Every structure is written in structure tokens, then in C-alpha cells.
């Protein structure tokens, strides 16, 4: 199977590294509009070669690992691909992407979201086992063709990912809470500190807690601007509910209601009982 990866940054580059260890993958080529990323991907041997967009269309499997608005644009340029070609998009939002797919190639497309990543971006951020043991969500899979379903499942199983299925709308609401809202909060937290007059003194004291919470603020603004645009309503709902919780915390603190504040923190502790 010949694979073409569009977008050679963290997600696309990491996938390329992982695909090298899969026996049914015969060749990996890439495409990226960023000339520097093209050069770096070749230096790192992420792909065999960087090819033009028309050459990518000839691949058996096409991976779209670019910002979500770019995915919509690219999908509309793939309307002349072979009926047996599989296209998998790695977008962090799904509903608008799925809605934008031309009916002519709907069966070619598998809408997927690998729940993995780091705060870094670009080819040099690529990690070989980024996808190992992570969850991948496949959305509205019933609308994809039988060949495409088989290829996607075979691929993600070979990557040792845990496959979950849900509708695009459901996916976008859930990810607003566990991914998109945390990024928005991290950006806001970083800016809160940056805007203080004595920020250097504050940052001198920065330890594990602040570093952990502000880590996501390193993430690509270009990518996350698109995510927030596409999932605006769900992110706003998540932020409003978070603001209500924060106001409640603030009120207990202001009123010196230590018993209720302690209970709020104790309730929050139970989250990790779910994960363990």
C-alpha cells in the first residue's frame, strides 16, 4: 500500500515514522506547502520523497494531517480520486469536515481523530510512538465505503491504537471539554502571567503546577485558531460551564467558606479515580 501524507508536522511526521514498521506499507511519500517543512521531512527521512499534490492523489491511502480548515479545502480538491482510494482526515473537529465532503467521494473518506499529540509542532516534533496505545475516534463510519472502513481499521490496529466510534456532533462536544477548553484555558493562563508588571519575578517561582497548566500554550496558534472557529459553540458552552465552576470556587474563597472549598477540591479529586 502506497501512502501519501499531506502535512509533515507533528501528526503527519509521527505517522510516517510509525508506518515504517508496518509490513503492508510499501512506500510513504509526503506533501506540505511549507518549503522548510519539506526540507526538514527529507532530512529526517520521514518520507521517501516530497511530491506534488497530483502525485498524492495516486496513492492508495491519503492522510490529511493539516489544520482543520485546510482539510476542508483539500477534500474538495480530491473529487477525481479513484473509487478505491482511502482518505483519512486527522482533524481535531469533525462535524464541519464531514458536512463539507462532496457526495461524489463520501465513501472515500474516513473521518478520524487520533487523540494524541504534544505541544510542539513541525517535522522535528515527530515522535515514532506518538499513536501507540492512544485512542482514535472514527466518526460516522457507516457513511464510508467498505474498502475504506477495512483500510482504516487495519491501519489503526497496526498502529496499536484503541478504536472508538461516535457521531461527529457527539465527538465535537466531547472534545470541547477534554481538549479544546483546556487549550483555551492554558493560553489565557499564560497571558495572565505575561501581562503582569513583575512577570519575570513570578516566572522565577514557576514550578511543576504552573508549567503543567501552561504547557498547552506552546501549541500552534494557526492550528488552534481553526479548531476554535470550527467548534465555536461547543467550546463556548464548555467555557461557560467552567466559568460557573470557577465563580463558585471564587465565592467560597471570598466568603472564607473553607468547608465548602474543601469539598469542592475533594470532589475534583475523584476525577482520577475514573482514570485509574
Q: What is the pLDDT of residues 130-170, one digit of tens each?
A: 999 999 999 999 999 999 999 999 999 999 999 999 999 99
Q: Are 19 and 45 in contact (CB under 8 A)?
A: no
Superfamily of domain 171-275: 6-phosphogluconate dehydrogenase C-terminal like domain (1.10.3660.10)
When the pLDDT of each residue in the chain is averaged and rounded to a whole number, the result is 94
Q: Are 209 and 154 in contact (CB under 8 A)?
A: no
Q: Which of 16-20, 114-118, 263-267 has the lowest mean pLDDT?
A: 114-118
- Checking 129-132 for CB contacts under 8 A at 24+ apart, the result is 129/18, 130/10, 130/11, 130/14, 130/15, 130/18, 131/14, 131/15, 131/18, 131/159, 131/160, 131/161, 132/18, 132/159, 132/160, 132/161
What are the cell numbers at 111? 473521518
- Residue 268 confidence (pLDDT): 92
Backbone dihedral region for residue 213 (phi beyond 0: left; psi -120 to 50: alpha; all else: beta): alpha
Q: Which tops the pLDDT comparison, 235 or 222?
A: 235
SS3 29: strand
Q: What Cα–Cα distance (Å) separates residue 241 from each residue in 213, 236, 271?
A: 19, 9, 17
**Whether the predicted pLDDT of 203 surpasses 90:** no
The total number of residues shown for the chain amounts to 276
- Residue 207 confidence (pLDDT): 67
Q: Which of 173-177, 188-192, 196-200 has the lowest mean pLDDT?
A: 196-200
* Interatomic CA distance for residues 4 and 58, integer angstroms: 8
Chain-centroid distance, C-alpha 92: 4
Overall average pLDDT of the 40-55 stretch: 95
**Whether the predicted pLDDT of 229 surpasses 70:** yes
- Residue 212 confidence (pLDDT): 83
What are the cell numbers at 231? 467548534
> Is the entire prediction scored with pTM above 0.85?
yes
Overall average pLDDT of the 172-193 stretch: 94
**Whether the predicted pLDDT of 247 surpasses 80:** yes
- Residue 271 confidence (pLDDT): 87
- Residue 121 confidence (pLDDT): 87
Residue range(s) in the chain whose domain bears CATH number 3.40.50.720: 2-166
* Interatomic CA distance for residues 28 and 81, integer angstroms: 18
* Interatomic CA distance for residues 171 and 105, integer angstroms: 22
Q: Are 89 and 111 in contact (CB under 8 A)?
A: yes
- Residue 199 confidence (pLDDT): 73
SS3 114: strand
Q: Which of 57-66, 100-109, 217-226 has the lowest mean pLDDT?
A: 217-226
- Tell me the angle at which helices 168-175 and 232-254 cross, rounded to the nearest 10 degrees: 30
Considering the four listed CATH numbers 3.40.50.300, 3.40.50.10800, 3.10.440.10, 3.40.50.720, the one that applies to the domain covering 2-166 is 3.40.50.720
The CA radius of gyration of the chain, in Å to the nearest whole number, is 21
What are the cell numbers at 72? 476542508
Amino acid at each position: 500500500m502506497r501512502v501519501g501524507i499531506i502535512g509533515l508536522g507533528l501528526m503527519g511526521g509521527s505517522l510516517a515514522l510509525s508506518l515504517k514498521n508496518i509490513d503492508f506499507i510499501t512506500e510513504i511519500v509526503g506533501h506540505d506547502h511549507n518549503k522548510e517543512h519539506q526540507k526538514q521531512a527529507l532530512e529526517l527521512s520521514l518520507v521517501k520523497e516530497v511530491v506534488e499534490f497530483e502525485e498524492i492523489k495516486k496513492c492508495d491511502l491519503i492522510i490529511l494531517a493539516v489544520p482543520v480548515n485546510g482539510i476542508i479545502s483539500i477534500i474538495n480538491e480530491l473529487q477525481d480520486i479513484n473509487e478505491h482510494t482511502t482518505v483519512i482526515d486527522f482533524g481535531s473537529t469533525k462535524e464541519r469536515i464531514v458536512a463539507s465532503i462532496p457526495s461524489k467521494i463520501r465513501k472515500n473518506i474516513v473521518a478520524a481523530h487520533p487523540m494524541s499529540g504534544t505541544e510542539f509542532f513541525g517535522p522535528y516534533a515527530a515522535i515514532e510512538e506518538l499513536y501507540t496505545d492512544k485512542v482514535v475516534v472514527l466518526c460516522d463510519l457507516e457513511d464510508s465505503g467498505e474498502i475504506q472502513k477495512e483500510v482504516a481499521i487495519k491501519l489503526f490496529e497496526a498502529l496499536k491504537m484503541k478504536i472508538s466510534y461516535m457521531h461527529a456532533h457527539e465527538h465535537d462536544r466531547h472534545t470541547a471539554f477534554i481538549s479544546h477548553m483546556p487549550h483555551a484555558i492554558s493560553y489565557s493562563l499564560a497571558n495572565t502571567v505575561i501581562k503582569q508588571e513583575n512577570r519575570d519575578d513570578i516566572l522565577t517561582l514557576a514550578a511543576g503546577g504552573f508549567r503543567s497548566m501552561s504547557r498547552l500554550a506552546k501549541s500552534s496558534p494557526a492550528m488552534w485558531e481553526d479548531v476554535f472557529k470550527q467548534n465555536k459553540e461547543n467550546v463556548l458552552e464548555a467555557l461557560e460551564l467552567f466559568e460557573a465552576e470557577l465563580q463558585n470556587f471564587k465565592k467560597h474563597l471570598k466568603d472564607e467558606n473553607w468547608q465548602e472549598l474543601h469539598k469542592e477540591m475533594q470532589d475534583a479529586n475523584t476525577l482520577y479515580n475514573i482514570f485509574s
